[in-house]
Chains A and B, each alone.
Chain A
Amino acid sequence: MENTVVKIDSLVKRYGDLIALDHFSLEIKEGEIFGLLGPNGSGKTTTINCLLSLLAFDKGDIKIFGKEMTPTSYDIKKDIGVIMQNVAVFDELTVYENIDYFCGLYITDKAERKKCVDEAVRFVGLEDFLKFRPKKLSGGLLRRLNIACGIAHKPKLIILDEPTVAVDPQSRNKILEGIQELNARGATVIYTSHYMEEVEKICTRIAIMDKGKKIAEGTKDQLKRMIKNTETITVEVLGLTDEVISQIAGLPHIYDHSYDGSLLTVFCSGGKHNLIRVMEVLQKNDLSFGRVYTELPTLNDVFLEVTGKALRDKED
């Protein structure tokens, strides 16, 4: 049986009249990459801050590695690594000194620390920049330094709070690969983001948050099964009459559709061979068509359906 690494039970956090977390509960098992997904202001960072006891909460209970988490739970903290959205390093120290400093906050033994720092340097590929000051590093290298500072002490639980914000696609992919590698080495990962494709790519289990509440939780497949939509068919076709459209709408498992004069979108719920049936209707009516494609539901569809709005709305 997998061990529970993090257990949050009915957490409530208020900022005056604003309820930032509303009876929020969560359980994360050992070895998971757990995605905390939600728009800006949904309560992700508040959850992380409460989890790390950096923020007092009004109600609830938090346990990490089976022990209650308090501001003085230093034995728990030594096994946690935190990587924030902002690059938090000393501009006055070199790359090596920075990693050594943050690693030294967890590991006091000099020889052991040196080993860990060297390993972290190799892991993020900063061997050639050890004597550089952060201001001399590019954005991507800075992110790697930020990660090295958070993982050098080999934590069992790694919390990444939107680590890819304002990062170029190439560096973003490297960061995601790194997270997967850390997980493969045995670390449990909590990953918060509002980039759904990232969460979908690396997370084994996901919780969707909105307005301080958990509105859905499960694996990608479980989440996708929670929604009505199982398949979206899109066809480029001209001159569709109302009669043809009503024939398509009448097909089994089709619960919604739209047509803008050139693009027909059909939403299906369950069933097999939906695409073939739509094609047959078009063929029967002697209609020629261009590109045809079918998509399985994404987390965005899940989010759209469970919250009633697109995830990026608030970000924009």
Chain B
Amino acid sequence: MQVFKAFMKVMRTRLPSILPYVIVFMIISVMISTVGGDEERFTAEEMKICIFDEDDTPQSHALAEFIAKGNELVELENDDDVILDSLYYASVDMVLTIKDGYAERLAAGETEDLFTTKHIHDSYAIALMDQLLSEYVVTVDGYMAGGQDFDQAVESAIGTLSKETEVTLVTEDSTMSKSEYFEGFFRYLPYILISIMLNGLCPVLIVMNRKDLRYRTNCSSIKVSSVSVQTFLASAVFVGAIWLIFVVAGVILNGGLFVGTAWLAVLNCLIFAMISALIAMLLSSFNVSDNVVGVITQVISLGMSFLCGVFVPMEMLSSGVLSAARFLPAYWYVRANSMISGTEHFDGSKVLLYMGIELGFAAALAVITLLIRRMKYNRADSVNA
């Protein structure tokens, strides 16, 4: 196993260039896992609301106090420019004006046109606030219809609408309770894996394929097939070790062993580690310098990551970019990972299809590498007597 041992010794000298990637990724993963912990708690959304009370009656004050309970009240100058600027710069989400005569008209049973609201964005929170105001006046009106006087009806309506509902978060699969963390951890791996393989594995393979060393090895009594097998084995051990490091890190950060479909993400990661290693092998066939390897690493890792939804979610990418990304393995890795993590609806057959496409890329890379090597390093296998 001389070639294997030499490979590992050469690899040892490359570790300093790999470690930063591992360390940075681990730090980012820890940060993601910390953020991911909040997903288990429910907190009601607060709005920043400015209320102009033109009615200025005890009933309008009661309404303002009721709204203030679950939201943040913001004070603004009642000036159109100021209001627009505040809405534009999002220092306030909604401006509510309780119109003059609100109490009098509500007491008379009118429920329409009691308020005006101003907002820029349409969101669930704005819609819910509109709904809450409608519900409030309808409830007051209902209590009055039930025989209560106006003040009692206001009090009853506030009491009814102030009841809080207890919320418990339940996910479809308990193994994915940290789905966003899980998705994030595996989603960023393509960038790290490509960087590590190209910075770590590729230079070692270039050394092992150095013309003068290959010449000397070919002169020796070791079989060519043995050299190839040992080099392949050493590469496989390196790829396996890197993969294992990330799986173990994932298990630790996940707070327990992966179970169920989560193992598919681990398998997906292994397939992509193989693809990254094959890219490194292909690049090493050209005997490029360390500097060139560095540049190509950045181009491939960053390019693939940005195009294929590793750094930027696919929803934000144009259809043109996504069409081009289909020709890159990272695209299929991210698609599979999104399904496995539950970000997209899980479909087992599609996940396997995506992994199959990744394996297709791996096979294509292997064939291209072998062809190039055969052309470049063609040794005299047959001697004409």
Binding site for B on A (CB under 8 A): 52-62, 68-72, 74-75, 77-78, 80, 82, 84, 86-93, 97, 101-102, 104-106, 149-150
Contacts and interface: CB of A to CB of B under 8 A. Distances in A.
B65 to A, nearest CB: 75
Interface string B207-221: 100101101111111
Nearest to A58: B384
B221 A74 contact: yes
Contacts of B2: 101, 104-105
B381 interface: yes
B10 interface: yes
B375 interface: no
12 contacts: A57-B384, A61-B385, A71-B379, A71-B381, A74-B222, A80-B219, A90-B9, A92-B10, A97-B9, A102-B220, A104-B2, A149-B216
A71 B217 CA distance: 12
Given A74-B221, A93-B10, A86 B212 contact: yes
A54 B380 contact: yes
A55 B384 CA distance: 11
Contacts of B385: 60-61, 68
Contacts of B217: 105
Given A90-B10, A92-B9, A92-B13, A56 B380 contact: yes
A55 to B, nearest CB: 5
B383 interface: yes
Contact of B219 (A57, A60, A82): A82
Contacts of B5: 101
Contacts of A55: 380
A80 B380 CA distance: 18
A237 to B, nearest CB: 54
Contacts of B381: 56, 71
Q: For B6, B217, B223, which residue has the most chain A Cβ atoms within 10 angstroms?
A: B6
Given A56-B384, A90-B6, A93-B10, A78 B221 contact: yes
Given A58-B384, A59-B384, A93-B10, A105 B213 contact: no
Contact of B218 (A54, A90, A104): A54
Nearest to A80: B219
B213 A90 contact: yes
A231 B193 CA distance: 74
Contacts of B384: 56-59
Contacts of B216: 82, 84, 88, 102, 149-150
The SS class assigned to the A binding surface is loop
A104 B221 CA distance: 10
A93 B220 contact: no
Interface of B: 2, 5-6, 9-10, 13, 207, 210, 212-213, 215-224, 379-385
B9 A71 contact: no
Per DSSP, are chain B's interface residues mostly helix, strand or loop, or mixed?
Answer: helix
B215 A88 contact: yes
Contacts of A84: 212, 215-216
9 A-B pairs with the lowest CB-CB distances in the bound complex, closest first: A88-B212, A78-B221, A56-B380, A105-B220, A104-B2, A77-B221, A82-B219, A92-B10, A74-B221
A97 B220 CA distance: 17
B220 A77 contact: yes
A69 B380 CA distance: 12
Nearest to A150: B216
Contacts of A93: 6, 9-10
Contact of A105 (B210, B221, B379): B221
Nearest to A76: B221
B85 to A, nearest CB: 64
Given A70-B383, A104-B2, A54 B10 contact: no
Given A86-B212, A90-B10, A54 B379 contact: yes
Nearest to B213: A88
B352 to A, nearest CB: 41
B382 A56 contact: yes
Contacts of B215: 54, 84, 88
Contact of A53 (B9, B212, B220, B383): B383
Given A102-B216, A105-B2, A149-B216, A57 B9 contact: no
A72 B13 CA distance: 33
B116 to A, nearest CB: 76
Contact of B221 (A59, A61, A75): A75
B247 to A, nearest CB: 29
Contacts of B207: 90-92
Nearest to B12: A92
A87 B216 CA distance: 10
B16 to A, nearest CB: 12
Contacts of B224: 71
B163 to A, nearest CB: 72
A53 B380 contact: yes
B223 A74 contact: yes
Nearest to B385: A61
Contact of A56 (B210, B220, B383): B383
Contacts of A106: 220-222
A74 B5 CA distance: 21
Nearest to A68: B385
Among the interface residues A59, A62, A106, A149, which one has the most CB atoms of the partner chain B within 10 A? A106
Nearest to A12: B384
A80 B219 CA distance: 8
Nearest to B9: A93
B209 to A, nearest CB: 12
A52 B219 CA distance: 7
A193 B146 CA distance: 117
Contacts of B10: 90, 92-93
Contacts of A70: 383
